Amino acid sequence: MSGSIQLTTDPEIEPDVCISYYYLDDFVGSDDGQDQDYANEDSSYDDSFSESYRTSITSSVLNYKYGSSFPLHSSIQNGRRYNAYREGEYALPNDEEEQDRMDLLHHIYNLILNGEIHTAPLKNPQRVLDLGTGTGIWAVDFADQYQSAEVIGNDLSPIQPKWVPPNCQFEIDDFESEWSYTKPFDYIHGRELAGSIQNFPRLAQQAFTHLKPGGYFEIQSFIVEIFSDDDSLKKAPYTTQMTSLLQQASEKFGKPMANLDEWPINLKEVGFTEVTCKIVKAPATPWAKDPKQKEIGRFFQVHQVHSAPAYTNFLLSQVLGWSKTEIDILNMHFLRELKDLDVHQYGKTYIMYGRKPL
């Protein structure tokens, strides 16, 4: 399986929309050629899942904290802080724990993409927009790498750092509102926007309108679902229940988390060409034998420790009407299953882009 790429074309997608399914080693490489081998013999694993381990592995990729409290821009629900601007429009919190989760996920993407911050074939971009920039970590990295580019990041929450490269700036805005930019962009980027978009075709149309001819619109996002290539996921019924509930709640909330298969089709429909979508499998826990996949799994596992309460706190309580006790019990069972390396679970991230014709 190492080094293989399965290329398929969905019958409902026009031939010039390329959907590629990748195993993780096609991005990060493989040291021993045993990428899909299972390895649960790690005797130190139970200890490694301790609080100190989670703190250590998180701090190893978090070089700074963004902000502290924003009383004029926040509200508290079930002990978590949420944005007050467009309150109720976004299902995830914006507190320090959530900021750590965002930066941890940025590191996971760095591992998957070998440190690359985009996959679209950019040439000397001069004006760049990052949608839903979060902590701003991607925008800062891009501004550092492309120092001649003007990089703008927008978000509902003012949680970005004050000290940034001179070519990077942040603004508080809702990317689902009508865009007011007067100058077009060479590149528009959005990462982890699943569950944040009410109308993706409209968003794609706005991106298309505000791009220069030849410019690229790129989206990178994990689908909120867990997979396995064997029957081991049957050992994790609470995990599958949680993802099913989150999909149901996000659909009811009006911002679905599991409709990513439609996005490349939407890109083509609004006029983008060279539409490409790479679907990458990434281990969700350190069950894989290959060292690089195991590393991804370790970070992904810690990410899930933080993401479970972040996702369930609002969606299950405010949308599905669950009590805090019911949510806590579900999360407890989910975290217990997360420790089981006999469950060979993985996530899928969709990495897609389209180009505005010249």
User: Which of 3.40.190.10, 3.90.550.10, 3.40.50.150, 3.90.700.10 would CATH assign to domain 5-355?
Assistant: 3.40.50.150
Render pLDDT for 92-131 as a digit per residue (tens, 0 to 9): 777 888 889 899 999 999 999 999 999 999 999 999 999 9
Q: State yes or no: pLDDT of 251 exceeds 70.
A: yes
Long-range contact pairs involving 248-252 (C-beta distance under 8 Å, separation at least 24): 248/320, 249/315, 249/316, 249/319, 249/320, 250/91, 250/195, 250/224, 250/315, 250/319, 252/319, 252/320
The pLDDT-based confidence of 290 (bands split at 50, 70, 90) is very high
Alpha-carbon separation of residue 72 from 29, 84, 91, 174, 231 (angstroms): 46, 7, 19, 17, 49
Q: What pLDDT score does 12 carry?
A: 42
Q: What is the pLDDT of residues 263-282, one digit of tens each?
A: 999 999 999 999 999 999 99
Query: What's the residue count for the chain?
Result: 358
Average pLDDT over the chain reads 83
Query: Picking from 45-54, 212-221, 266-275, which range would have the lowest pLDDT averaged per residue?
Result: 45-54
Average pLDDT over residues 309-327: 92
Global pTM value? 0.82
What was the pLDDT predicted at 176?
A: 92
Q: Comparing C-alpha atoms, which of 232, 262, 225, 229 is closest to residue 246?
A: 225
Higher-confidence residue of 8 and 12: namely: 12
pLDDT at 20: 59
pLDDT tens digits along 11-38? 343 434 556 555 555 544 444 434 445 4
